[in-house]
Structure 1
Amino acid sequence: MTDRAPSPTPSERARLDAADRARGEEEQAKLPYKWTQTLEEAEVNIPIPGNLKARDLVVELKKGHIKVQVKGQDAILDGDFPHSIIVDDSTWVLSSKSDNTKEILITLAKARGSNWWAHIVTSAPKIDTTKIVPENSKLSELDGETRGMVEKMMYDQNQKAMGKPTSDDQKKDDILKKFMREHPEMDFSNAKIN
């Protein structure tokens, strides 16, 4: 039998989650870009001075890498993706936000079977993907397999938060109980179950 630390109370869990969220938001705020995502794509917004034109920029999108820079300057964003993208379905545009600021808007099409990204590039701080809650309206638009996976993840996350077994834990327990019923001749009294 292993000694485990007691699970935090709901109020302690809420406090820890709030601290994690604040730390994550602070790390993300320090990045030279903002980003959001859905299961199908990630969107990156990079603010730049308003006097720059598209010809002043280098934007390279490869299957596993991104590089964004103003010509002659250090890269604003340069690194490997955590998962592959579909290059032909990914785009970037330059848009004006005001007279003195513009924004590079990059839409990255995630490769099939991709999932929530913890970061845009692997060298950047990670976000906690277990805390992502997709919009309900978007959940209904997912294909059956993806929707099932997301609903399972949400169920398991909720179960863990309440200190209850996940769906995988329940499945293992059901298999064990069935095995024990089918084999009454075996002695399970000294069995250790993790």
Structure 2
Amino acid sequence: MSESRDQSPSAEERRKKDAEDRKREEEEQATLPYKWTQTLTEAEVSVPIPGNLKSRDLIVELKKTHIKVAIKGQDSIIDGDFPHSILVDDSTWTLISGPNNTKDINITLAKAPGSNWWAHIVTSAPKLDTTKITPENSKLSDLDGETRGMVEKMMYDQEMKRQGKPTSDEQKKQDMLSKFMQQHPEMDFSNAKIG
């Protein structure tokens, strides 16, 4: 008789692998000529450049699915396709002076609705594991109508369960049965079960 062993990794092995993956991602991201962060609705890109440059010395092109950032007469700093579309009219860039005679090109990319978390700014860059992203707390007002309705229903149902009351779907079934019973008083509902 052979012994069967669970081949799934232990919690400690998973933690160790996650830490290694995070370290590898951080090292890959550190090699990029820019830094970036994101929320569900925007991606922020910061590109350091020499402090003596002015906006007229730069090329910053933001298209629906492509970005190009360069210093005129030099190779591009960023030139690639986005993993998802952006809203070009809602996306902006500014030049910010930093310490020690440096400047940053700060680019705010408005993500197209439904694009969620991005694994990278341009598809040629190393990917992040988006399943490991811990989002900041967002407000219900930040969500689009359909998503907001779903979240509010889930919150309501969770609260009703906590109180031992029927969820919205269970309440709907009970209301339909009550209405049906009122419309058909001739029927015997003593053994009826709601499932």
Same fold (TM over 0.5): yes
What is the CA distance between 1:139 and its match in structure 2? 5.0
Separation (CA, whole Å) in 2 of partners of 1:114 and 1:5: 37
Any idea what SS the aligned residue of 2:20 has?
helix
Is residue 88 from structure 1 mapped to residue 89 from structure 2 by the alignment? yes
Q: Deviations over 1:122-163 (max 9, x none)?
A: 000000000011112x154434644658xx9xxxxxxxxxxx
Identity among equivalent pairs (%): 72
Count of aligned residue pairs for this structure pair: 147
Unaligned ranges ≥5, structure 1: 153-194
Cα distance change of structure 1 residues 146 and 36 upon mapping to structure 2, 3 Å threshold: farther
Residue 9 of structure 1 is matched in structure 2 by 10
Separation (CA, whole Å) in 2 of partners of 1:5 and 1:40: 41
What is the CA distance between 1:26 and its match in structure 2? 0.2
Residue 19 of structure 1 is matched in structure 2 by 20
What is the CA distance between 1:51 and its match in structure 2? 0.2
Query: TM-score normalized by structure 1?
Result: 0.71
Residue 63 of structure 2 is matched in structure 1 by 62
Query: TM-score normalized by structure 2?
Result: 0.70
Cα distance change of structure 1 residues 57 and 13 upon mapping to structure 2, 3 Å threshold: same
Q: After TM superposition, list the pairs within 5 Å mapping 1:116-155 onto structure 2.
A: 116-136=117-137, 138=138, 140=140, 141-143=142-144, 145-146=146-147
> Whose Rg is larger?
2
Any idea what SS the aligned residue of 1:107 has?
strand
Residue 155 of structure 1 is matched in structure 2 by none
Q: After TM superposition, list the pairs within 5 Å mapping 1:148-167 onto structure 2.
A: none
What is the CA distance between 1:112 and its match in structure 2? 1.2
Unaligned ranges ≥5, structure 2: 155-195
Q: After TM superposition, list the pairs within 5 Å mapping 1:40-51 onto structure 2.
A: 40-51=41-52
Cα distance change of structure 1 residues 145 and 25 upon mapping to structure 2, 3 Å threshold: farther
Cα distance change of structure 1 residues 17 and 96 upon mapping to structure 2, 3 Å threshold: same
Q: Deviations over 1:17-57 (max 9, x none)?
A: 00000000000000000000011010000000000000000
What is the CA distance between 1:98 and its match in structure 2? 2.1
Separation (CA, whole Å) in 2 of partners of 1:143 and 1:4: 47
Separation (CA, whole Å) in 1 of partners of 2:111 and 2:6: 38
